[in-house]
Amino acid sequence: MSNPNNVSLNINHALEFIDGNALNIPTLSILTEDGDIHPSATAPAISKHTAIKLYETMRFIRLLDERMQGAQRQGRVSFYMQCLGEEAAVTASAAALDQEDMIMAQYREQAALHYRGFTLDQFMNQMFSNELDLGKGRQMPIHYGSNELNYMTISSPLGTQIPQATGYAYGQKVKHIDAKTGELASTIDNITICYFGEGAASEGDFHAGLNMAAVHKAPVIFFARNNGYAISTPADEQFKGDGIASRGVGYGIKTIRVDGTDALAVFAATQKAREIASTQGEPVLIESIAYRLGAHSTSDDPSGYRSKDEEANYKTCPIEKFKKWLVKQQWLNEEDDLKAKESIREDILAALKRAEVVQKPALEELVSDVYDTPIPSLVRQYNELKEHIQKHPDAYPVTAGRIK
């Protein structure tokens, strides 16, 4: 029997509605709080090199976040967003990818970029918008991008990267489709991962992007970071379904929910998701559950919308959890770890001081490579700005930060 409606033809003669929470999605957890493997769980195959690199990335990002949060409070940078509490979700997912896979991030995925090889100085140059910034100083702090590392430049508007990721991933797939049969001729070399928060999943772009990916079978991993809050709006005021994962099932997408504080669970889920995307040429949705331990950004005060008691109930540190497992594998030494932290703190402060005295990009960089040839209105605006700065030079310092 034909099925033009594309629905399951399970005829029922009794009047019955399906409850909105009928789908009960489990959460994959592998590590205990003490760094042991749950008795009924299976640890993924992960090399010592990858595990150590994963931990070192999380450790670095935590220390960078602490220092740059302080730098913003000192007035040295204008804005910052921490990855506090979500380091495992971001880093372990990035570790499960191929270096050539495309990453489309939201704004809390600096760990994925550092895992790929983005250096401390590159982070600082971007945050200070100096002349060494890859983005030519055009973006606000933490809006990173790297063509070399296959990390699409971050956009401030929420959710725009989701349909873009679908389109990019479909392009990756097209190269592997047999022109005669229309079927996949081989495994797709590289896929796309798209990160976003549960708040961004309330945007129309989320629904458009997932539906397009499902219908056209784009090899994209949608990685939803459900950290409990969209700035100050709690999850229960954003949606009434079973998290974000239930929506993936609704769109016909293979879906899994993971404990976002568990590096091994995230690594295993992303590793399998990549296999599905590359061999079957279809999308996968991963929902990570990890409480946002800090504020949304340096412009936010969480005490206005959540209590200290609530925060005390969600103090699981994904870095410590994974560290305990590494120590038990005898892959990490506590004393060496402490020494490394002190060294990293010194390196971060030194890099900050270097970046804030580097000159800002030349003024003409504002209009270069926006168009092949700057259009008249852009040239006019540029000339007006140049005249304004010449009249008020003291208001426009030549360096990115403060000089003492």
Catalytic residues: 292, 296, 305
Secondary structure tally for the chain: helices H, strands E:
12, 9
- Helix, strand, coil: what percent of the chain each, to 5? 40, 10, 45
Residue with tokens 């270097």: 354
> How far is residue 222 from each of residues 136, 150, 209, measured CA to CA in Å?
29, 16, 10
How far, rounded to the nearest angstrom, does the alpha carbon of residue 24 sit from its chain's CA centroid? 26
Q: Which of 49, 56, 118, 117 is nearest to 87 (CA)?
A: 56
Cα 176 to Cα 70: distance, rounded to the nearest angstrom: 48
Cα 213 to Cα 13: distance, rounded to the nearest angstrom: 34
How far, rounded to the nearest angstrom, does the alpha carbon of residue 151 sit from its chain's CA centroid? 10
Residue with tokens 């091994």: 264
Residues 292 and 197 sit within 8 Å (Cβ to Cβ): no
Token pair of 309 as six digits:
């008691």
Token pair of 13 as six digits:
């003669």
Cα 367 to Cα 379: distance, rounded to the nearest angstrom: 8
Which letter does DSSP use for residue 23 in this model? -
Cα 50 to Cα 403: distance, rounded to the nearest angstrom: 40
Quick one: angle between helices 318-328 and 263-280, nearest 10? Answer: 90
Cα 134 to Cα 92: distance, rounded to the nearest angstrom: 26
Q: How many residues does the chain have?
A: 404
